[in-house]
Amino acid sequence: MRAPELTFVPYPPDARFVREARSGLVWHRVAQRVLFADTDRTGVVYHGNYFRFFEQGRSSLLRDAGFPHAQVEADGYAYPIYELGTDFFRPIAHDAPIFVHTRFRGLAAVRVDFEYVITLAETGLVACRGFTRHCATNRQGRPVAVDPLTVAVFRNFPT
């Protein structure tokens, strides 16, 4: 599969975000460097280790979006992942500077979706694209409606 051609340009209202030129969509962005710990003997990032980068993106997005993690947890909500998928277009080498882009992809009655794009910082080329789908659950692990605090953060995400 061909890598998507995505061009991220500054988002003047907030330097922690960028805008994808073609679609106009706003993404959160964090910079990261690849460690030996992320790689395997093929010399590039091990496929299972991309999910740490995605979590870092999601976690940073939520913090920057004012998501009250401790409060949501205290209210009894959890958001386990029930589905994920990733397309890998280019390997990522050790010590490579990368950008992790994250955005909300969708909100439904009992779930929230995120998507991710990792680019190579030096060329802007897309290395991979993925998504995670999260189900709202209560303390007993049963699906419930997404809590109001999460909905509010989602609705306020820049567009």
Which span (9-17, 77-85, 101-109, 117-125) binds a copy of itself, by CB under 8 A?
77-85
The site that binds a copy of itself (CB under 8 A) totals a number of residues, namely 39
Among 16, 59, 105, 113, contact with a copy of itself (rule: CB under 8 A): 59
Side chain identity, residue 127? A
Q: Work out the angle at residue 94's Cα, subtended by the Cα atoms of residues 46 and 29, and round it to the nearest 5 degrees.
A: 85
Cα gap 111→134, rounded to integer Å: 5
Annotate 31-67 with three-state secondary structure: EEECCHHHECCCCEECHHHHHHHHHHHHHHHHHHCCC
Does residue 68 bind a copy of itself (CB under 8 A)?
Answer: no
Task: Rank residues 19 and 130 by Cβ distance to a copy of itself and give the closer one.
Answer: 130
Coil, strand or helix: which one is 106?
A: strand
Does residue 65 bind a copy of itself (CB under 8 A)?
Answer: no
Among 9, 13, 15, 36, contact with a copy of itself (rule: CB under 8 A): 36
Phi (first) and psi of residue 132, to 5 degrees: -135, 140
Please, what is the minimum distance in Å from the beta carbon of residue 95 to a copy of itself? 7
Cα gap 9→23, rounded to integer Å: 11
Which of the residues 96 through 115 are near a copy of itself (CB under 8 A)?
A: none
Phi (first) and psi of residue 55, to 5 degrees: -65, -40
Among 11, 88, 154, 157, contact with a copy of itself (rule: CB under 8 A): 88
List of residues contacting a copy of itself (CB under 8 A):
1, 33, 35-37, 39-44, 46-52, 55-56, 59, 63, 69, 78, 80-89, 91, 94-95, 132, 141
